[in-house]
Chain A
Amino acid sequence: MSTNAVTEEITYIRAVNEGLRWALREYPKALILGEDVALPNGPFGATRGLHGEFGDRVIDTPITESAFVGAAIGAAMRGYRPIVEIMFMDFTQVAMDQLVNQLPNIHYVSNGGFRVPLTIRTQQGRTPGSCAQHSQSLEAVFAHVPGIRVGLPANPQDAYDMLRSAIASDDPALIIESRALYASRGPVELERPLAPIGRAQLRRPGEDVTIVSWSRMVGEAEAAAQRLEAEGISAAVIDLRWVSPVDHDTIAASLERTGRLVIAHEANRTAGFGAELAAWATEERFWDLDGPVARVGAPDIRMPAAATLQEALLPSAESIAETVRATLNAAPA
């Protein structure tokens, strides 16, 4: 860290905005495309002021996810560095051909002839009242697809840093923001060197159990760790940050100390990314485990809109803490 670093207390969405501004300054070939990103300043304000500052490099598109994702791919193949906003994660499904059949194939199949330095930003998760088509957490869908990096920032600094790393990379990347965190504030150092893609962060060291989480659930995991501390349980919390590539080393280092692994995400449990981490732990770190791996996630349901119904389904600090307690008490029958 530089000694004269300027650190500002800003919101998560403002950090995204600063990351985009950095990109447009840093890369003359950077473009922003998406619905309502230019004149309207972005539906959540991520692109606020950028059209005014950078003019037609910030492009309002028709409501046409296949077309503007595909167009961003084509522009990237022709030397540009596009950044696309897909308003909600749910809307990626409209563009799945471009996102899965096209984008991640191009560098590999062209044998390196084409690069696609395209970054897609979207946001996901439930907020009170959000309907079933604006609430899904689908990171596992994209983690399953080789050829695209997938990151989920959990705080303003990471929203800034991970976005910049994704944009700077010559590989396609999907940055999945958390709408629930957009208004949260935190210190953000703007003059930082670029961080490598795929590094997890140990948020809190611990001796008894390792909780791996990402996106909004990192905060819940930290709150759970605080509760557990009062009960004499020392929980490590890891913010995985990236589900592709995965920083197994950071998890392994903590697991070596704790011997217990709990994975917490907002996404549905079945075939959620927690399942992949659980499989990894049993394949690669079986002899470090002192008990079964546990997962915390939404039950396999659709998401209702009413907040009281949503809260009955969502993982929370308490459900994570409860899972940790159960894990530590687990013993052969």
Chain B
Amino acid sequence: MDAPSLPETYRAILTIRRFEERLLSLHQEGLIQGSMHLCNGQEAIPVGACRELRADDALTATYRGHGWAIARGLPLPDLFAELMGRASPLCGGRGGSAYLCGAPYGFLGENSIVGAGVPIAAGAALAARRDGAGAVSLVSIGDGALNQGAVGEALNFAAALALPLVVVVENNIYSEMTPIKEMVAIDPLAQRAAGFGIPSVTVDGNDTAVVQAAVAEAVARARSGGGPTLVEAMTERLVGHYTGDAQQYRPAGEVEAAKTREPLTRLRAAAGQELGAELAVVDEEVEATIESAVQEAMGYPRPDPAGAALGVYVD
């Protein structure tokens, strides 16, 4: 697929960033309850990866999944409403920040159990292969998830059955709040895929085009029956593991340094003067989009408590 223009990429990333930042302010205003896991700084990965997905592909994410949901095309008002505990068309307020999904969008959902989405995504890949239409299943996980047994099991399962699965590892160098380098004895993490007979690559996750190119290759392999691929995308979290994480474990200056190489900073630098004016317009437009989405979300009713116990079963 053609690479979109710089301002379009900037718009996509900024939309996720402003969504996350707006969530924080809504949280402070008391309009969102509970903790959230924001993806500030990691937005180039979902934006780049989702550009390679078709409507009939399946997407599975982690609890740090707002960016994936937005990149997949889930409507912003619905997402805001879902996080505000309102009767959103997504999950009616039942999913919340960390476990929302969107069936009409082929978004099988976030997952609040680290790594648990990979077996499920492997099943979506099994379904895709049986359907025979060349669809794929893409799942994002974090670096820490690679240490979960379910992930190892699912990688082997997908490899043994040659399933059209693309595993994107967002390596933000922290396994929740512990440096990943202290939790493994390998570097890069992607080499672990070789033990399963799965091709892998480690790329710059703060560059949308680089992510897109790596995912394109993986998706092409999957669509043509070549089996799974693991793409490790290196990035850095600009915020805590969860809202309320004081990040005392991060060395002084780390976040500041990360801000000099995060996706938006890079795009602004690359834009130069001519495009810079265009980006300023995008800034305003994204701001308006976010505010209008928040207003629309506030218009959704609260879920009816009388329905809280309904729907555990179909029958």
Chain A residues packing against B (C-beta within 8 Å): 31, 59, 61-62, 64, 66-80, 82, 97-98, 101-102, 104-105, 107-115, 146-147, 149, 169-171, 197
Nearest CB of chain B from residue A31's CB, rounded to whole Å? 8
Q: How far is the CA of A234 from the CA of B44 in the complex (A)?
A: 74
Is A110 a contact of B119 with CB atoms below 8 Å?
Answer: no
Report B-chain residues with C-beta under 8 Å of the C-beta of A71.
Answer: 119-120, 122-123, 126, 154, 157
Interface status of B97 (Cβ within 8 A of chain A): no
Please pick, from B119, B150, B160, the residue contacting A74 in the complex, using a CB distance under 8 A.
B119
Interface status of B13 (Cβ within 8 A of chain A): no
Is A169 a contact of B116 with CB atoms below 8 Å?
Answer: no
Q: Please, which residue of chain A has its CB at the minimum distance from the CB of B82?
A: A111
Report A-chain residues with C-beta under 8 Å of the C-beta of B95.
Answer: 109-111
Q: Which stretch in B101-109, B201-209, B216-224 binds the other chain?
A: B101-109
Q: Please, which residue of chain B has its CB at the minimum distance from the CB of A113?
A: B103
Report B-chain residues with C-beta under 8 Å of the C-beta of A62.
Answer: 153, 156-157, 160
Cross-chain pairs A/B with CB under 8 angstroms, 10 sampled: A61-B157, A74-B126, A77-B124, A97-B116, A98-B120, A102-B120, A109-B95, A111-B94, A112-B314, A113-B102
Interface status of B91 (Cβ within 8 A of chain A): yes
Is B150 a contact of A114 with CB atoms below 8 Å?
Answer: no
Is A79 a contact of B102 with CB atoms below 8 Å?
Answer: no
Q: How far is the CA of A66 from the CA of B92 in the complex (A)?
A: 29
Report A-chain residues with C-beta under 8 Å of the C-beta of B122.
Answer: 67, 70-71, 74
Nearest CB of chain B from residue A63's CB, rounded to whole Å? 9
Nearest CB of chain B from residue A197's CB, rounded to whole Å? 7
Q: How far is the CA of A170 from the CA of B313 in the complex (A)?
A: 8
Q: Please, which residue of chain A has its CB at the minimum distance from the CB of B104?
A: A113
Q: Please, which residue of chain A has its CB at the minimum distance from the CB of B112?
A: A101
Give the bracket for the number of chain B residues in contact with chain A.
35 or more
Q: How far is the CA of A258 from the CA of B94 in the complex (A)?
A: 44
Q: How far is the CA of A258 from the CA of B91 in the complex (A)?
A: 47
Interface status of B121 (Cβ within 8 A of chain A): yes
Chain A to chain B: the 6 pairs with minimum beta-carbon distance, closest first: A70-B119, A74-B123, A113-B103, A71-B123, A78-B127, A67-B153
Q: 17 additional contacts, CB 8 Å, given A62-B157, A67-B122, A111-B91?
A: A62-B156, A64-B156, A67-B119, A67-B150, A70-B123, A71-B126, A74-B119, A74-B120, A75-B124, A78-B123, A78-B128, A102-B113, A109-B95, A109-B99, A110-B109, A113-B90, A114-B101
Nearest CB of chain B from residue A285's CB, rounded to whole Å? 23
Residue of A59, A76, A82, A97 with highest tally of chain B CB at under 10 A: A97
Nearest CB of chain B from residue A85's CB, rounded to whole Å? 15
Is A75 a contact of B126 with CB atoms below 8 Å?
Answer: yes
Please pick, from A31, A101, A111, the residue contacting B116 in the complex, using a CB distance under 8 A.
A101
Q: Please, which residue of chain A has its CB at the minimum distance from the CB of B307?
A: A111
Q: What 1/0 flags go to B35-73 for Cβ under 8 Å of A?
A: 000000000000000000000001010000000000000
Interface status of B149 (Cβ within 8 A of chain A): yes
Q: A101-B113, A114-B101 are in contact. Are A66 and B91 (CB under 8 A)?
A: no
Report B-chain residues with C-beta under 8 Å of the C-beta of A147.
Answer: 312-313
Please pick, from A31, A74, A76, A82, the residue contacting B121 in the complex, using a CB distance under 8 A.
A74
